[in-house]
Amino acid sequence: MGFPGVWMTESESLIYRVVPKCACSTIGQIMFHSDHGRFFDGDIHDSTDGLHKWAQDHSHDPIERAVRARSGVTFTCVRNPYARLLSSFFDKIAGIQRNGRRYRGNLVPQLVQRYGIDVGSPDNGFEFDQIASFRRFLLFARDTVRFRKPMEPDIHWSAMSGHISTFIVNGGRYDQIFFTEAFNDGMAKVLAAADTKVAIDLDQVPRFNESEGHGPKRAHKVSDYFDDLSRHLIWEIYKDDFRLFRYDFDNPDNKMPLGEVDLDEVHAKLGR
């Protein structure tokens, strides 16, 4: 199976398992800069050279070799499951993508028909009942993750633990897992442990949020979107994420983790 979702610098100094909606655009740009002294001109997801990606056939051998030899600092980044799912909804379901279209073509019309989701349109300023529509999207997300109906789960709302486990199951081991909510601290520790070609000042790095500006802004605090049923559903989908990455299930408005990640626990539980 190899190492799907892995990006690596050409110098093999940094090996990163991408977790969608967890600062992956910014991390990819920092990795690119650490080799080349400049940021990629465009969305880093579109780059085809300057950064190894498992999705590129020519990157398979170097990534596999580096992971097996543990030649670089291997890491990933996680995010509060409440905030991550809301971000997925506003970007991929309610938003317009970079190509000017809805995400995955006919997905949103299907959700309108099957789940009664209303996401407005650019013509009306994306005006819709955000709370009601998000809760219906959550039912859809649960159905895809738990029952794989009416489609396979999308990478943007699949559990973080699922993404992270593929790397472990296939023979990789993480040196560090840090939090999006404490990004600079976590990324600084990764860079301090790595032998990068070019130094970088994290305080000067722009946030490369490629989903910014493509759709509506969240109008309410996080807890307003989650009634008792919604919290039951999100626990059903993400209980491993809450437990392993120490996020606060009881208080959706507390975005910060309650403790540090135990790497030995992560490897033991996700490597089965």
Is the distance from CB of 143 to CB of 149 less than 8 angstroms? yes
pLDDT tens readout for residues 217-258: 899 999 999 999 999 999 999 999 999 999 999 999 999 999
pLDDT of the residue at 122: 76
Rounded to an integer, what distance in angstroms lies between the CA atom of residue 228 and that of residue 113? 25
- The pLDDT tens digits for 190-222 are 999 999 999 999 998 987 875 555 678 899 999
Please, what sign has the CA dihedral across residues 204, 205, 211, 214?
positive
Q: What is the pLDDT of residues 127-178, one digit of tens each?
A: 899 999 999 999 999 999 999 999 999 999 999 999 999 999 999 999 999 9
Higher pLDDT, 100 or 187: 187
- pTM equals 0.94
User: What torsion do the CA atoms of 158, 161, 163, 167 make, to the nearest 10 degrees?
Assistant: -170
Q: Of the candidates 116, 21, 4, 120, which has an alpha carbon nearest to the alpha carbon of residue 59?
A: 4
